[in-house]
Each structure stands twice: as structure tokens, then as C-alpha cells.
Amino acid sequence: MTSEAPLIQLGESTAAAVEGVLQTVAPGAERVGRVSAVSGEQAADQAVAGLTLPAVAADVSYINGVTGGNVFLLPVEGARRLAAAMVGTDPASVVEGGELTELELSAVGEAMNQMMSAAALATGGVLRQEVEIAPPQIRVVETEAEAAELLRATAAPHILSTGFTVADTPSRLVQLVPNAFVVRMDRALDAQTTEYTSAPLGSALRAVPVRVWAELGRARMPAGASLGLATGSVVELDREVEDPVDLYVDGLHFASGRLLVADDGSLQLEIETILGLNRGEAAQDADVLPAVAADEAVEAVAEAVEAADEADEAVATEADAPAADHMDVPDVPETATDSPTESMEV
């Protein structure tokens, strides 16, 4: 397995975590494009090429024996609009060309702290261990050379870059990944993709507890508006009543279906579609169905074969049993010399 596969998976998980925070503090923020992985001497320059400057940079470094970290780069104009959105002001009302005030920088710094914390948690979740980070450093970088030097300071050999739009401003998440993370990711992916066919493993997997939840819908609002919600407030979700409900298993969008109400008043979900590993694509082939479903299919076949064997044995036992006196026994062919009916009077 090449190092690019674990790098991309790590970048996707981290970018998704950052996007979740951004959608809370800056309605309309979203990820654009795919995660790109670059290595080599020019990796830092490539990661910041084309970014509008000056920009606010939130820099979080890994600690406890590993190098690297996460850096979020947001142009000053976008930072001013983000600060406006966080206090409930229309970002479009911000006059272009103004300077970033200390108050705006403080508000943007708080949002970036949340993003970097979410990124660290996502990284730790992928690596299946806690990732320790230093306190975030918020600064303003004026040139591409300064931004690239910020990335090179950790001497991380791999750099991941993901584009975002925040308050209609192109921004960038940069991950500085040490070799130690790549090695751990390789091992984790190898363990996940190893094929096992023995029944004991299937039983063990079925016993692993997982978190399952249904998502009715989502809503976006400024942070100030969310803090101002009172008892009895109505929040409009992005779904209609008849729309499918999404089912998640440990954070994976696993299936969709319809919400039902049981006789006892409890809620239930009727599964209509099981999704593949790619979000939004229904599984068409048996190969992409969950391993648990495959195990259950094998067991079902085995149970059917066992039931057929038992039926055959029952028929054989019934054929070997002595006939009752009151039963009519047909003529026995002369070739059936070993039949128990030979001793009976017909």
C-alpha cells in the first residue's frame, strides 16, 4: 500500500471535522475540492500558492515526540466577515479594505481554536490514539514566503491541503503530517482490509458495540443566534417531512430509511437503502456490502444445508421404521430382498 492512501484518508477526516465547526460559526462555509497530498522540498510553497494575502493563520503543533500540526489560513477580508457573522452581523455589510481590529482577531481566533481542536480530535480518531497538541498560535502572515516558512518550521515530510470557502472567501486547511502518522495509518488500513472468512472472527465482530443514530435534518445559524435560542423556539431543518432519514453507524453514513412510530410510541427506522463506502452511492455489488451482512448470508446458507440434512435423516428414519399392523403395505418387488416388509403377510 502506498503512503498516499492513508494520507488522503487522514486529510478527509480532518477536513470533515473542520467543516463541521465552520458550518456552525460561519453559515455557508463549505469545503471545496479534494484533499491534495504533496511531499518534497517545494511542498510548502505548493500548499500556499495562490492564497490571497495577508491572511490570518491558526497554527497548532503536535507534541509528545512527533512533529507536524495543522494550520488554517484565512485571508484578512474573510476573517473580518467571519468575525461579523459570529456576532450576528451580515458579513456582506463589511467594507472591503479595512484593517483587522483586535476584537475581530480575537473572535476569529476563537473560531480557529475550535477548528484546530476538532482537527486534532479527528486525527486522533483515525490513528486510534490521543493526539496531543500545543496551544494554538494566531498570527497574520503577509507573504507567501512567510506562510511557506511557517509550514516548513515543523520539518514534516508530508503536507495535505484542502480548500474551503469562509464568508465567500477562499481559505485553506494545511496538515503537516509526520512519518509516524503514515506508518500508523498503514497498519490501521492493513488491519481493516485483511480478509477473514472464519466463523469465530465473524462472531467476534458482531459482538463489538457501535453507536447508531438517525439524523432527521440539519440547520445553520450564526453562533450568536444559537446562544439566543429560548425554550419553545422553532428551528427549521433542511429536510421535508417525507424525506428519508439518514442512519449513521459510528459516524459512517450507513443507510437511509423512513421513520416509524411503534405501537408503544417509540421511534423506529425502516431501512430502505444501504449505502456503499462512498458517501451517497448505493451499494450495487455484494462486494461492497458490510462484512456482517456477508457473514449472515454464509450462516443462512449453512443453516439451510443443515436443515436439508436433517430432513433427509428424518425421511430415512421414517423409511426404516417398522410399518404399523393397520397400514396397507404395497407389493414388494422381488429385487428388494433386504426390505423389512418381506417378513410381513400381505
- The segment(s) of the chain belonging to CATH 3.40.1550.10 are 4-188
pLDDT at residue 286, as a whole number: 34
Ranges of residues in the chain with a pLDDT under 50 are 1-2, 194-201, 277-298, 300-301, 304-305, 308, 311, 315-346
pLDDT at residue 139, as a whole number: 92
- Tens of pLDDT, residues 263-274: 888 888 889 888
Of 16, 15, 19, 21, the closest CA to residue 30 belongs to 19
- CATH number (3.40.50.300, 3.40.1550.10, 3.30.300.30, 3.30.70.2660) of 4-188 reads 3.40.1550.10
pTM of the full predicted structure?
A: 0.55
pLDDT at residue 5, as a whole number: 77
pLDDT at residue 122, as a whole number: 87
With respect to CATH, is domain 195-227+236-289 assigned 2.30.330.10? yes
- The segment(s) of the chain belonging to CATH 2.30.330.10 are 195-227+236-289
